[in-house]
Amino acid sequence: MEGEGYGELQLLQASAMDEEFQWRGTVEEVAQWKANLAAYEAGEQPREDTVHFSLWVSRPLGVWLNVSLNIGNQNTTQPVITATNSREDLLPANELNQFVQDRQNEIARENISNPVFDIYTSLKEYVSAYEEHVKSPLTEPLPEEITKPSKLDMKRIIFWSHHLIAPSKRKQFAAWCPELHVWGLFKLGYPGFLCFEGLASDVDEMVRRVKSMQWHAISARVEVTYTYSVTEKDTDPSTDALKSCTLARGRDIPTRSKLRVDSEEINDMGEFVASPYVAKRELHWAT
């Protein structure tokens, strides 16, 4: 059907408040998606694309749906939908995703239209039973009442590039690092290296953006996942986890002001190898 996916995208945006619908992509990607949607609404020929966005399902539980949706074509491929939440103690993410998968299977069997909207509304109803266990979000919790995670999933990844020198690419990477709260370390020239480290979900988004550039001269060489154990002294677990990262070593990190995650460039290979930021064994594997 012509305009496949556009109608559902309009339906989702109309059903959610502004803060409950968030695009997931680069500035250029989001601008293109909005332009495509505006053109469709103006009656122009629908353009084929794949859009990425998130839907806020439950505020008290912090439940989000992350969606990749084909629009503007007759492709019958199901949208890619995953669920995340911040209250694993009440509703595990694997249970949420099992619900999503089961519902997607039913939608495929019954050929139900607007699958994302169906899952969005069905999941809202499903999680409502758990929301009563959470205090009203209008009541500001005391610091000691805030539930802290016991651990955080972290990730460090190294890309190899045949030649890293283009100013446009370097500026793009440098802009993404503070936006996604991911540390970056770049070795310019030949051979080029890109190192990223931070919370696993943030690094995954960085990897998605890097790969979306369709840059043939770059490939992922090493990926390391590990766990940051939260202690009683951690007042802000995510910030403390970022401060503990390998790529944060040697940087001027403020003790009181807000942490600004950034990137750093190195020109010389010897300097890169000797850098305290890069684990030697990982670099050996990368090369």
CATH number of the domain within which 189 lies = 3.30.70.100
Which range has the worst mean pLDDT, 137-151, 206-220, 255-269?
137-151
| Same domain? 110 vs 15 | yes
Domain for residue 139, yes or no?
no
> Do 44 and 125 have their domain in common?
yes
DSSP three-state, residue 1:
coil
Q: Which residues contact 236 (CB under 8 A, 6 or more apart)?
A: none
Reported as a single tens digit per residue, the pLDDT across 239-284 is 889 988 888 877 777 665 578 888 888 776 666 655 655 544 444 4
Q: Based on the domain organization, do 267 and 190 belong to the same domain?
A: yes
In a domain, 199, yes or no: yes
Q: Is 20 helix (H, G, I), strand (E, B) or coil?
A: helix
Give the pTM: 0.47
Question: Which comes out higher in pLDDT, residue 77 or 241?
Answer: 241
Same domain, 127 and 157: no
Q: Tell whether 36 is covered by a domain.
A: yes
In a domain, 143, yes or no: no
Predicted confidence band at 148 (pLDDT cuts at 50, 70, 90)? low
Give me the domain span that covers residue 204. 151-286
73 located within any domain: yes
- Tell me how far CA of residue 119 lies from CA of 57, 83, 207, 270, in angstroms: 10, 11, 27, 52
Q: Is residue 137 part of a domain?
A: no
Structurally, how many domains does the chain consist of?
A: 2
**Alpha-helical runs (H) found in 16-114:** 27-41, 93-110
* CATH of residue 98: 3.10.110
- Neighbouring CB atoms inside 10 A of 271's CB total 10
Q: Which residues contact 205 (CB under 8 A, 6 or more apart)?
A: 24, 180
At residue 120, what are phi and psi to the nearest 5 degrees?
Answer: -60, -50
The residues facing 83 across adjacent strands are 65
Task: Show which of 79, 102, 131 is a domain's final residue.
Answer: 131
Say yes or no: 53 and 118 in one domain. Answer: yes
Residue 141 within any structural domain of the chain:
no
More confident of the two residues 182 and 276: 182
- Final residue in a domain of this structure, among 81, 96, 131: 131
| Residue 57 included in any domain | yes
Whether 175 and 281 map to the same domain: the answer is yes
Q: How far apart are CA 128 and CA 60, in angstroms?
A: 10
pLDDT > 70 fraction of the chain, expressed in percent and rounded: 78
DSSP conformational letter for 247? G
